[in-house]
């Protein structure tokens, strides 16, 4: 009976609008453990493409503008990235 329920439509319908390129910064940050050096983040996730208000950008390009070389917490990393890319909404058009 559980198999029959699993074959039903998803509980949440997905929208039909344009998809947004890149991963949310929170998803990338959640794949890391803290603290982290900037070089370690680049080795592990530098090729990740994140969503920004100006469109998708590689994390490597964003962190090239960061003055910090060590992030003691996830929040410090997220705040620093948002300081670089901005905190505006991500465009979906």
Enumerate the domain spans of the chain.
Answer: 20-85
Average pLDDT, whole number, for the chain? Answer: 86
What pTM was estimated for this model as a whole? 0.77
pLDDT (tens digit per residue) in 55-92: 999 999 999 999 999 999 999 999 999 999 998 877 76
Instruction: Give a three-class secondary structure readout of 49-86.
Output: EECCCCCCEEHHHHHCCCCCCEECCHHHHHHHHHHHHC
Mean pLDDT of 27-54: 95
Mean pLDDT of 14-28: 79
């Amino acid at each position: 009976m559980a198999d029959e329920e699993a074959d039903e439509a998803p509980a949440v319908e997905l929208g039909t609008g344009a998809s947004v390129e890149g991963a949310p910064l929170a998803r990338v940050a959640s794949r890391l453990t803290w603290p982290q050096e900037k070089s370690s983040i680049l080795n592990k996730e530098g090729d990740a493409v994140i969503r920004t208000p100006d469109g998708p950008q590689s994390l490597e390009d964003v962190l090239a503008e960061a003055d910090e070389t060590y992030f003691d917490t996830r929040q410090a990393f997220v705040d620093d990235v948002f300081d670089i890319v901005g905190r505006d909404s991500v465009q979906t058009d």
